[in-house]
Structure 1
C-alpha cells in the first residue's frame, strides 16, 4: 500500500513540490517542478543556455547554474549587485518591480530600461527562452575581491 505526499522542496517557493510515495519498504519520488530554458550572457560569459525552475528567482537560477551574479546582500533587497538586464519580452512578462527595487536600481552600474534585480525577478513559464544579460561591472561597497557565499 502506497501513501502519496506532496512536500515543498527546501529553499524553493511553494510552487515547487516533490511528490513522495511512501510504503513500508520503499520510497519513490518524482519532481513536479516545471522547468523553462533561459540564456545568460555577459561579464566574459559566452551565451549559455540553462534550465530554470518556475518559482525561482534569477539569483537562485544563477547560483544553481554556476553563473556569477554578485548579490552582496545575499538577496535581501539591500544592494544593486545582482543587477540583470532582461530582454524586452521577458521584462514585459516578469513580476512588476516594487518601489524599493526601483530605488536600488538607481544605484546600479550600466542601468538600462529593462534592468531588474535578480533577487526580485521570479521565473514564470512565460519567460521560456529569456535572455538575461549581466552588466560589465557592479557597484559594491564591500572590500575588493570579496565573494559572498552561496545561499
Structure 2
C-alpha cells in the first residue's frame, strides 16, 4: 500500500493507505478527508478536489494536463503546487506523498 498524508488547514495530518491505480481523490473520499468534496466523482469537470502538492513532491507528481489546468481556473487560491487530486494516480513512486487541503473548494 502507498501512504498518502493529507494536511488540513489547522496543520492536522491524516495518514492514509492508498491502492495503486486509484487516485488521490478516491483515497481521500474512502478515508473521509475533510475538505475534499469531489462533486464530479473524478471526471475532471469540477475543482472540488483541489489540493496543494507538498514542495518535496511536486517534481515526482508532475504538473497538470491542459484539461486539468482549465479546471483549476475554477478553484480558489490556485498556486504553482495546485493539482486536482482526481488526476493524480497512486503508484509506488508516490509512497509518502504529502498534499495540503485548501481552506475551501471551487
| TM superposition score category, shorter chain reference | 0.7 to 0.9
- Name the SS of the counterpart of 1:76 in structure 2: coil
2:60 equivalent to 1:60: no
Give the unaligned 5+ runs of structure 1: 1-34, 140-151
Give the unaligned 5+ runs of structure 2: none
**What is the TM-score when the length of structure 2 is the normalising length?**
0.88
**Is the 1:43–1:137 contact (alpha carbons within 8 Å) kept by the matching residues of 2?**
no
Considering Cα pairs closer than 8 Å and 6+ residues apart, tell me whether 1 or 2 has the greater RCO.
2
Matches within 5 A, 1:135-146: 135-139=102-106
Q: CA deviation at 1:115?
A: 0.7
Query: More strand by proportion, 1 or 2?
Result: 1
Q: Where in structure 1 do 4 or more consecutive aligned residues deviate above 6 Å?
A: none
**Is the 1:94–1:123 contact (alpha carbons within 8 Å) kept by the matching residues of 2?**
no
Q: CA deviation at 1:59?
A: 0.9
Query: More helix by proportion, 1 or 2?
Result: 2
Q: Count how many residue pairs are aligned between Structure 1 and Structure 2.
A: 105
Alignment partner of 1:77 out of 44, 47, 59 = 44
- Name the SS of the counterpart of 2:87 in structure 1: coil
2:82 equivalent to 1:131: no
Matches within 5 A, 1:22-37: 35-37=1-3
**What is the TM-score when the length of structure 1 is the normalising length?**
0.63
- Give the greater-gyration-radius structure (CA): 1
Q: CA deviation at 1:102?
A: 0.5
